[in-house]
Amino acid sequence: MKNKKKTIRFGIFGLSRGKSFIDGILACNGEVVALCDTDESRIAARQKVVPDAVGYTDFDEFLCHEGMDAVVIANYFHEHAPFAVKALEKNIHVLSECIPAATMGDAVALVRAAEKSQVTYMLAENYPFVKSAEEMRRVYRGGTLGKVLFAEGEYNHPLWNDWSHGDCMELLCPHSKHWRYHMPRVYYITHSLAPLCYITGVMPKRVSAFPVSYPFTKETCLSDLYWRLPDRSAVVSCFNDDGSVFRVTGWSQFGGHSTSYRVCGSLGQIETARGEDDRIVLQYNDYAVPEGMKTVNSYYAEWDPEVKALAENAGHGGGDYLVVKEFCDALREERDPVFDVYFSATLSAVAILGHRSALEYGVPYDIPDFRNEAERAKWEDDFLTPMWGSDGTPPSMPNTELEEYLPTEEAMAEYDALANKYRAEQAAKNK
């Protein structure tokens, strides 16, 4: 066991989502020494919490901050990998938000950079650490369910619409070239898939997906500000390295707001009760009921006493603290984190290739083994993306299978006008 008390000095890049990491870093005997964002008002707001942190608006200057051990990458959803690669090349540890990489070429570059570095990369996927998923992992790894044969994961989060980022007063989709306006829902796959991989220890090897599309209208939204894409979700099937099959969604915009998981083994099954995220239903086949258990068992998951006090007050069901804890523990113990760069690249590939499959109504794609240079090299020049780059680079592939709903210049201009109107109205209210 290495030095558990060593202070880890963090920098945070992207201070909208990135602010959520501050409490976890401080709770894990970490120090926030640097902050980076293009919006200086965000830097000033976060410095009220960590006043000794130095602010930067330039990422390259930020990476040169003296004594910084690790960075949290929390910039735009689809642009994490290039910045993570820069940090790895400077031998700075990386804790990256989801999605790890938004193109296959970026996923390959990320893995190569991590392999060449002398530091640790981890994906900051938080849903595997909610207490229901932790309990499902404990039971499954205990062996009483036998071998996993089938599992399901759903992340249902209906339209956010016009919510804003609190003190920054920024729309979640501030303009028509923002990633949320163009993102296929299957790209947001880690909240539904990662917990199943964490619980069972298996990884996807082939993916097939079908789109779930239905247009949004002004009548079904809270205001005129809504995304024009009909993309509500995708039903994604993963064939895994142990022969099991997972069926998951991306970010789904159907049904009620909920997150649910189910793991079916050869001897029984365990699942979360829909609508009650913390309630577990554990069922065994009659011939395989363990001593002291019933055929059907229903109970509420509980926190491990060692993490309860900090986890129960953290965001995302405790995951915002526990993901930082796992990262810090891995650094101090000099071990691989639970969600390493190979795990991260694989989940990225499921999202990216799952979208391509959905565009073709289910055509399957093989997921490369990112540990194998020959397999990953086939994708090194593939940078197709359905989203705009922050530098103005336009999409290079469709974001929906329905041509009549592809974003037009007129629709994007209308959205921008409404967004500007919204901001002006909010500014007037807050004078």
DSSP structure string for 118-186: SS-EEE---GGGSHHHHHHHHHHHTTTT-SEEEEEEEEE-----S-B-GGG--BSS-STTSHHHH--GG
Residue 390 lies in a domain: no
Domain-ending residue, one of 123, 144, 177: 123
Residues 238, 370, single domain; the answer is yes
Indicate the burial class of 45 (C-beta count within 10 angstroms; 0-12, 13-18, 19 or more): middle
Residue 147 lies in a domain: yes
pTM of the model: 0.95
Residues 143, 71, single domain; the answer is no
Residues 298, 191, single domain; the answer is yes
User: If we measure between CA atoms, which residue out of 167, 169, 196 comes closest to residue 346?
Assistant: 196
Residue 88 lies in a domain: yes
Residues 257, 291, single domain; the answer is yes
Both structure tokens of 140: 């499954």
Residue 315 lies in a domain: no
Instruction: Report the alpha-carbon distance of residue 427 to residue 431 in Å, rounded.
Output: 6
Residues 14, 150, single domain; the answer is no
Number of domains in the chain: 2
Indicate the burial class of 2 (C-beta count within 10 angstroms; 0-12, 13-18, 19 or more): exposed
Q: What is the pLDDT at residue 1?
A: 39
CA dihedral for 331, 337, 341, 347, sign (positive or negative): negative
Instruction: Report the alpha-carbon distance of residue 107 to residue 379 in Å, rounded.
Output: 9
Q: What is the pLDDT at residue 429?
A: 84
Residues 150, 104, single domain; the answer is no
Residues 107, 171, single domain; the answer is no
User: If we measure between CA atoms, which residue out of 363, 341, 159 comes closest to residue 252?
Assistant: 159
Residue 389 lies in a domain: no
Residue 414 lies in a domain: no
Q: What is the pLDDT at residue 4?
A: 60
Q: What is the pLDDT at residue 221?
A: 64
Residue 352 CA: distances (Å) to CA of 166, 355, 382: 31, 5, 11
User: If we measure between CA atoms, which residue out of 229, 196, 191 comes closest to residue 212?
Assistant: 229
Residues 286, 367, single domain; the answer is yes
Residues 118, 138, single domain; the answer is no
Residues 112, 216, single domain; the answer is no
Residue 193 lies in a domain: yes
Instruction: Report the alpha-carbon distance of residue 311 to residue 128 in Å, rounded.
Output: 13
Digitized pLDDT (tens) for each residue of the chain, 431 residues in all: 355 668 999 999 999 999 999 999 999 999 999 999 999 999 999 999 999 999 999 999 999 999 999 999 999 999 999 999 999 999 999 999 999 999 999 999 999 999 999 999 999 999 999 999 999 999 999 999 999 999 999 999 886 554 444 444 467 888 999 998 999 999 999 999 999 999 999 999 999 999 999 887 766 665 666 666 788 899 999 999 999 999 999 999 888 888 999 999 999 999 999 888 899 999 999 999 999 999 999 999 999 988 888 888 888 888 899 999 999 999 999 999 999 999 999 999 999 999 999 999 999 999 999 999 999 999 999 999 999 999 999 999 999 999 999 999 998 998 899 889 888 888 888 77
Q: What is the pLDDT at residue 165?
A: 46
Give me the amino acid identity at 347: L
Instruction: Report the alpha-carbon distance of residue 340 to residue 54 in Å, rounded.
Output: 29
Element (H, E) at 377: helix 373-377
Q: What is the pLDDT at residue 312?
A: 85
Half-sphere exposure of 275 (CA within 13 A, CB side): 2
Q: What is the pLDDT at residue 160?
A: 54
Domain-ending residue, one of 106, 123, 140: 123
Residues 249, 286, single domain; the answer is yes
Element (H, E) at 269: strand 268-273
Residues 57, 146, single domain; the answer is no
Domain-ending residue, one of 123, 147, 167: 123
Instruction: Report the alpha-carbon distance of residue 45 to residue 55 in Å, rounded.
Output: 11
Domain holding 192, by residue range, is 128-305+340-377
> What CATH number did the domain enclosing 162 receive?
3.30.360.10
Q: What is the pLDDT at residue 223?
A: 61
Residue 367 lies in a domain: yes
Both structure tokens of 251: 């970010």
* Angle, alpha carbons 127-131-135 (nearest 5°): 110
364-403 burial code (b ≥16 CB/10 A, e <16): ebebbbbeeeeebeebeeeeebbbbbeeeeebeebbbbee
